[in-house]
Amino acid sequence: MTQDEYFSLLGRLRQSSVGSHRAPHKPLLLLLALTNLQQGNKISLSYVDIDKRLAPLLKDYAPQSFSSNPNTWDPFRRLSNDELWIVEDERGAIVERPLAFSRSELSKLNLRGGLPPAVVSLLQSDPGLISRSVRFLLERNWLQVCTRTSSTRLDYQLKIVQ
């Protein structure tokens, strides 16, 4: 995968919308994965861990229409359709149809999600690519966040030039 192909996938990220507001679920999930990779943590995260980390971010950064009852299971299951995410079982085997699993099954079966190996390799090959990816997602989805100091709640140290 090339950087152009990668940024093309990021730019074509499918998001549902209510009125003029796009759902921030998938971009926030990608930001969590990028942060996790940048910090040298495990490449994939269990759904239980993602649920704990994503729900508060959705409450803070999603428009009111999306934040009243944060849905963390749909982006976990659906992001693989955008070729930027894989879902694995406990043994590390790729789950071909993650949409078939309910929220409770995601937890009970300890399914894990993360960036695909080709994306991980690309990100690890260029030290600045994670920062550029984070900036791309922030600017595309939360331009106002880029000027707030609360953006550090994303657990990512990003210097914003104002």
Reported in sequence order, the residue ranges of 4-151 that DSSP labels E, i.e. its strands, are 17-18, 21-22, 44-46, 86-88, 112-114
Give residue-wise pLDDT tens across range 103-152. 999 999 999 999 999 999 999 999 899 999 999 998 888 764 444 434 44
Task: Classify residue 39: in a domain, yes or no.
Answer: yes
Task: Classify residue 15: in a domain, yes or no.
Answer: yes
Task: Classify residue 162: in a domain, yes or no.
Answer: no
Cβ 71 vs Cβ 102: under 8 Å: no
**pLDDT score recorded for residue 67:** 55
Cβ 79 vs Cβ 67: under 8 Å: no
Helices 129-141 & 25-38 angle (0-180, nearest 10): 160
| Whether the predicted model's global pTM rises above the 0.85 cut | no
DSSP code at position 86: E
**pLDDT score recorded for residue 124:** 94
User: How far apart are alpha carbons 104 and 125 in whole angstroms?
Assistant: 36
Task: Classify residue 95: in a domain, yes or no.
Answer: yes
44 forms beta bridges with 114
Mean pLDDT rounded to a whole number for the chain? 83
Please state the domain count of the chain. 1
Task: Classify residue 112: in a domain, yes or no.
Answer: yes
C-alpha dist (Å) from residue 57 to 11, 104, 128, 148: 21, 21, 24, 14
Domain, as residue range, for 20:
3-154
Q: Which region among 19-33, 94-108, 114-128 has the lowest average model confidence (pLDDT)?
A: 19-33
User: How far apart are alpha carbons 78 and 95 in whole angstroms?
Assistant: 12
Residues 6+ apart with CB under 8 A from 133: 6, 7, 10, 30, 34, 123
User: How far apart are alpha carbons 7 and 22 in whole angstroms?
Assistant: 19
Average pLDDT over every residue of 46-70: 81
Task: Classify residue 160: in a domain, yes or no.
Answer: no
